[in-house]
Chains A and B, each alone.
Chain A
Amino acid sequence: MMLVLARKVGQRIVIAGNIEITVVEIRGEQVRLGITAPRNIAVHRKELLEQVTQENIEAAATAHDAENSISAPAKGE
């Protein structure tokens, strides 16, 4: 379920008392958000996390198929 709130420029949302999201600017289809959070809270654009996850899956597949392009280390190393 998703909570949907209407906000204007300069207005804020507070999450769990210590994460603050400010609507900084609205320009056309783009919204700029300011995020204040404790240092242990990781903030990322979701599409970047998805890109890296997808790349990891491809990289694991490359390693799986790589027999003929990159040699294996000697066993026991």
Chain B
Amino acid sequence: MIINTTRFGEIEVSDASVLHMAEGMLGFEWCKRFVLLEDKPNTPFKWLQAVDDPAVAFIVINPMEFFPDYEVELADDEAEMLGITNAEDAAVVTTVTIDKNEGCVTTNLLGPIIINSHDLKAKQIVLNDDKYGTKHVIGQKGSKDATLQACKAA
């Protein structure tokens, strides 16, 4: 199918690659279908592009690459809705935000997006775990580790 996007223009994706989010993203409930697009090689980033709204896209990462100890606990009803019975069935991505002032690049570990790897049903869940918030630092735009400390301290 061909989807229309504000950022990338018209792009062709296979129907089988479309993620189905019955409830949409929080705050973007009208977006029920997304596709994951690769960024250029050698970056951890992907694009979660809405199929139903050309203007809506999110930059996402695999949080395990940055936080190997990250744990997502699915509630029974969430696992059931997604048809996930064990961890191997699931892929997890989290959204990325770049702070305009400091350029801190953060990811949202409180509200991960869980994807059934087999049928691509997906859902953004909200964890009931005080360990996780919406802004975990993963880097700083245009700089190396030296200035990253400023982000971590903030």
A14 at the interface (CB under 8 A from B): no
Given A39-B77, A70-B43, CB of A62 within 8 Å of CB of B59: yes
Contact of B126 among A41, A44, A76 (CB under 8 A): A44
Interface class of chain A by DSSP = helix
Contact of A52 among B11, B57, B98, B110 (CB under 8 A): B110
B116 at the interface (CB under 8 A from A): no
Q: Which residues of A contact B135 (CB under 8 A)?
A: 55
Q: Which residues of A contact B39 (CB under 8 A)?
A: 70-73
Contact of B58 among A41, A48, A60 (CB under 8 A): A60
State whether A55 touches B95 (Cβ < 8 A): yes
State whether B11 touches A75 (Cβ < 8 A): yes
Interface size on B, residues (CB 8 A): 41
Q: In the docked arrangement, what's the CA distance between A76 and B134, Å? A: 32
State whether A56 touches B58 (Cβ < 8 A): yes
A59 at the interface (CB under 8 A from B): yes
State whether A53 touches B98 (Cβ < 8 A): no
Task: Give A55-74 as 1s and 0s: 1 = Cβ < 8 Å from B's Cβ atoms.
Answer: 11111101111100111110
Task: Give B109-127 as 1s and 0s: 1 = Cβ < 8 Å from A's Cβ atoms.
Answer: 0110000000000001010
Q: Which residues of A contact B26 (CB under 8 A)?
A: 49, 52-53, 56
State whether B59 touches A66 (Cβ < 8 A): yes
10 new A-B pairs (CB below 8 Å) besides A49-B26, A56-B27?
A: A39-B77, A41-B77, A42-B75, A48-B126, A55-B95, A59-B59, A62-B97, A63-B7, A69-B142, A73-B40
Give the interface of B toward A (CB within 8 A).
7-12, 25-28, 37-40, 43, 45, 47, 55-59, 75-77, 80, 95-98, 108, 110-111, 124, 126, 128, 133-135, 141-142
13 CB contacts below 8 A, A to B, read A42-B77, A54-B134, A55-B111, A55-B135, A56-B108, A57-B27, A60-B56, A62-B96, A62-B97, A63-B58, A64-B55, A69-B142, A72-B47
